[in-house]
Chains A and B, each alone.
Chain A
Amino acid sequence: MERVLRDKKAIALFVLPALCIFVGVIFVPIVWTLIYSLFSGMPGVNFTYYGIQNYIDMFSNKQTVNAIAVNWKYIAIVTPCQVGFGLLAALMVHYSVRKYKTLARTLIFIPTVLPAVAVAQMFIKMYALTPNYGLFNSILDKLGLQSLIQAWLGYSDTSFAALCLMDVWTAVGFYTVIIYGALVDIPDEIIEAARIDGANSFGLFRRILLPMLKTMITTCFVFSFTGTIKMFESATALTKGGPGQATTSMTMNMYQNAFKFNEFGYGSAIAVIILLQCLLVTLIINKVGKERY
């Protein structure tokens, strides 16, 4: 058995295909992008060495700066909401629902499995003002709040909020299920012991549940962050980055520069900056998550 498990050929056969695809699809493009980011123009057309000028140009490009600001605002709102509501819902499912736990969990999870484009189409219909009121406007109409009826996707503030709402709505089920899974694993004896020691609900949450869920919550933050920094398909499908540039994210700006304006080098430079932000913040989240408190 030992000899079989040390068989070099078998290991190579098992690992190499996956490794080749992984390297070919992940590492080669990253290195490629790094090299591209030092050039300007389009490969094969007007590709010239540009040095780090692409990175310097980024600061003076209003659209890119705006995209970074929009993206970080989006992350600052959506990530805490996704994980926070996920945690809240998981606690409620675990402690408040007695009979229909599985049903509640399944229902909460449903939005997660829907494709982003379908969800966006649904929300467009819900936010609609013309040709007839969508769900939001008709409910407002029924409630007598006619002054609030508006084209939700037509103004920069409301369309940004509408996008945030949609993404929180979609993803919250995923984090609920993950945190619920961790919550179920906490042994009942610990909670009972804390109760006997006189812990109230808040103390129980603060001193027992939170520390025990910390690893999972950290993972959730990493998932949520890496999902929100890549903000692309939901915004593209809901608002196409508009009105104006109000919901244009970094990846959408990168896409515009690389494939619409044919500035491949500049697009690659934005991609490198996104990658760096992603790595840096993931490291910070993990560092904070490992701290004792």
Chain B
Amino acid sequence: MVRKKGVLTVIGKILIVLFLFIEIYPIFWILMSSFKSSAEFTLTPSYALPQGIYYQNYIDAWNRGRMNTYFVNSVIVTFISLALIMVLSSTSAFALTKMKWKNRGARSPCS
């Protein structure tokens, strides 16, 4: 689409950058905070970047925080439900759209 580079486009560009910043900065901040030791987290301002990569947090979370067990639990739940969803929804979707039978056209009340 051909379009003149008007004021609106510039405003849009500024807004989108602002918007992206708002959407991404918290995630970036929590990621940076995860590399701080608790002393550093308490002593420096929250927005400061970490002084070094302190990865002990991750080791602690995995071992002492029992993330290893929780991770395995999540994987088991995800795989079983994903397998069921794939099999059940693809078969019933095929039957509903391609196969021919009476009353298959009943629509959901919400659409």
Interface residues of chain A, those whose CB is within 8 Å of chain B, are 2, 5-8, 10-11, 13-15, 17-19, 21, 85, 88-89, 91-93, 95-97, 104, 107-108, 110-111, 114, 122-123, 125-126, 131-135, 137-139, 141-142, 169, 172-173, 188, 191-192, 201, 222, 279, 282, 286
Closest to A134 in B: B46
Q: Does the CB pair B23–A172 fall under 8 Å?
A: yes
Query: In the assembled complex, which residues on chain A have CB atoms less than 8 Å from the CB atom of B22?
Result: 169
B110 at the A/B interface (Cβ < 8 Å)? yes
A169 to B13 CA separation, bound complex (whole angstroms): 20
Cβ contact of B26, chosen from A5, A132, A133, A135, cutoff 8 A: A135
Interface residues contributed by chain B, number (CB under 8 Å): 39
B51: chain A residues at CB < 8 Å are none
Q: How many A-B residue pairs have CB under 8 A?
A: 114
Chain B contact residues: over half helix, strand or loop, or mixed?
A: helix
Min CB–CB distance B96 → chain A (angstroms): 7
* A125 / chain B contacts, CB cutoff of 8 Å: 30, 33
A-B contact pairs, 16 of them (CB 8 A): A2-B100, A5-B99, A14-B92, A15-B96, A18-B91, A89-B16, A92-B15, A96-B15, A125-B30, A132-B43, A169-B22, A169-B26, A172-B23, A188-B1, A192-B2, A201-B6
Q: Who on chain A is nearest to B90 by CB? A: A14
Which of B22, B26, B94, B109: most chain A CB closer than 10 A?
Answer: B26
Closest chain A CB from B98 CB (angstroms): 7
Inter-chain contact B3/A282, CB cutoff 8 Å? no
Asked whether, in the complex, the Cβ of A95 is within 8 Å of the Cβ of B46, the reply is no
Cα–Cα, bound, A141→B8 (Å)? 34
